[in-house]
Structure formats: C-alpha cells, structure tokens
Structure 1
C-alpha cells in the first residue's frame, strides 16, 4: 500500500461490486481501514450485513436514491451524489482510510450526477498510500487514462435473460 493505486472495474456484466468487496475484505484482513461509498444505490443488501462484522475496519455509506432507469435526474439524486462526493473528497484528504471504494461512481458520472473533471482532479491529487477503487458500467475514457489497473467485466451469458430475478445472497 506504499504508493496506492487506482483500480477500475467496469463492463456490462456482473461482478464489479463483488470484486471491490473482495478487495475490501482482503484489505481488512491485513488490518487496513476501508471506506466504501456507494453512489446510486439506496437499498440495503446482504453484503451490508456481512460487512457489519468488520465495522472497526470497514465503513459503508450510501449516497443514492436508487438506480436511475428512466434517464431523468431528480434534484434529490443529484444532491445525494454531490453530498457523497464532497464527503469522499474529505475522507481521502484526511488519510483516515487506506482504501476508498467508489461503488457505481462510473454510472453516476455517466448519468451526469457527478462531473468527470471533478473526479479526475480528485484522482490526480490523491495522497500517496491510498488505494482507490472505482466501479460501475460506462467507465469514462478519462477515468481509464488515470487508472493504474482497469478490468472490464464482459457478459458472455447471463441467466437474467432467461427471466431469473436477483437472488438474495447472490445478486443482492
């Protein structure tokens, strides 16, 4: 964790948040403090219950009003994302955490809840020693350029297309 890298998990398949949560668990296992900022998301899921067991090392906060399906932005969705971004900036500059996960931030940028320039400026000015992970579909080219590691989750086959709904403990 000496340098602290910027990692991106993007793509049209599942596994982006799961990969980030795996990193959070691995970091906590090494005694590192982790902050998880969930943009867009509002619903409490099974992973929140599991992460509570690591409450001394992992903090989770949600800055969303729920998934944006219609493409219409509400003032409350914009305000929630902006509030979250301001808190994340303070958290990163405080150096209180070794790892900061910005879950679904790529979607927040793509949906115009957050400004890409602000995110890139934050990434370019991050203190050394903090690992930052960004997740979500639609990773902007500028995010990919500044990142040290980019993984694209590519859907080959998905049971959702056969009508399988999100299952407790697997997708939520």
Structure 2
C-alpha cells in the first residue's frame, strides 16, 4: 500500500511559518525521506541554505531575483515565480520527492505573481504519496478549505515593531 501524503498550510501574520516547514524538512531528512524546498521571493542568501546543503536527500531552490521588500514588481519577478511554479508542478507530480515545500507561495499569490488557481492545481497534480507544505501570509479561503492541516501563526508581539532589523541566523 502506498504512503498517504497530506497537504499542510502554515499561514498568518506571526513569525514561524518557514521555521515550521524547515522543522518538518529536518524530521523528514532524518527519516531518510527526499525533500524539495522551493522558496518564492527569496534568493539563496538565507542562513538555512548553508545547513540544508549538508542534509541528505534535500534539494533547495530559491525563486527570487533582486527584488527588495516594498520595491515595485517587475517582469523578472513574474518570470521567477512562473519558473518556480513549474518546478513545483514537476516536484509534486514526479514521485521523486516524499515532501515538497512551497515556501511563501501565498505571498506570491497576494502580490499577483501567481494565481490562486495555480496553487490549487498543485493539489490536483500532486501524487497521493507526496506530502505538500504551503507557507506564507494571505492563504486564501479555498486552500484553507481543501488542506488537510492548517496552522495559523498569530503575532502577539514582535521586536520588528521596535525597529529591530532581520538578524542573520534568526530571521535570515
């Protein structure tokens, strides 16, 4: 009998969505599973990339360009997101990966780089044995309805509001 994979959503305005997905990635790698992590709107400059390169069975791709938070969207941003979506379609349908993580995919939808239907299509083409994790603020109602597990991170307090910038090893 084939392993049953499920669809997870980690959303909300609180810190910890990517961190929760990375925790699951670590557990899966330790169990000998194959993991694909695709990160939207990010480049390969985050601290976790150094550690993830050491883990067996883990592949990471960042689908972001030179864009900075608050900068206007460009055609390059759209091209990165479309390329990332194609990569994820292949990953969830190929049978090569036990766990596929689409990090910040909901932000890509919120910004208009992807459509809600693009995300829903990932559920349609996903092999039943592939575990799929979708993260980011702004998860939309239909994905919340269709996911098997939904966790909302709620910000109660954050030091960013006191002007503390993202710190290497903690937020980036």
Say if 2:92 and 2:125, in contact at 8 Å, map to a contact too. Answer: no
Q: Deviations over 1:125-171 (max 9, x none)?
A: 31111000001100011111111011110000111111211111111
Structure 2 residue ranges without an equivalent (≥5): none
Which residue in the other structure is 2:115 paired with?
115
Q: Normalising to structure 2: TM-score of the pair?
A: 0.94
Say if 1:16 and 1:135, in contact at 8 Å, map to a contact too. Answer: yes
* Greater mean deviation of Cα atoms: 19-28 or 117-126: 117-126
Which residue in the other structure is 2:16 paired with?
15
How well do the aligned residues superpose, as a CA RMSD in angstroms? Answer: 1.4
Say if 1:124 and 1:146, in contact at 8 Å, map to a contact too. Answer: no
Task: List aligned pairs for 1:19-168, cutoff 5 A.
Answer: 19-54=20-55, 56-65=56-65, 66-70=67-71, 72-168=72-168
How many Å separate the matches in 2 of 1:167 and 1:118? 32
SS in 1 for 2:59: strand
Sort the Cα spacing of 1:67 and 1:101 in 2 relative to 1 into closer, same or farther, 3 A: farther
Say if 2:12 and 2:136, in contact at 8 Å, map to a contact too. Answer: yes
Runs (4+) of structure 1 moved beyond 3 Å? none
How many Å separate the matches in 2 of 1:9 and 1:155? 13
Say if 1:7 and 1:147, in contact at 8 Å, map to a contact too. Answer: yes
Q: Normalising to structure 1: TM-score of the pair?
A: 0.94
Aligned residues between the structures: 170
SS in 1 for 2:9: strand
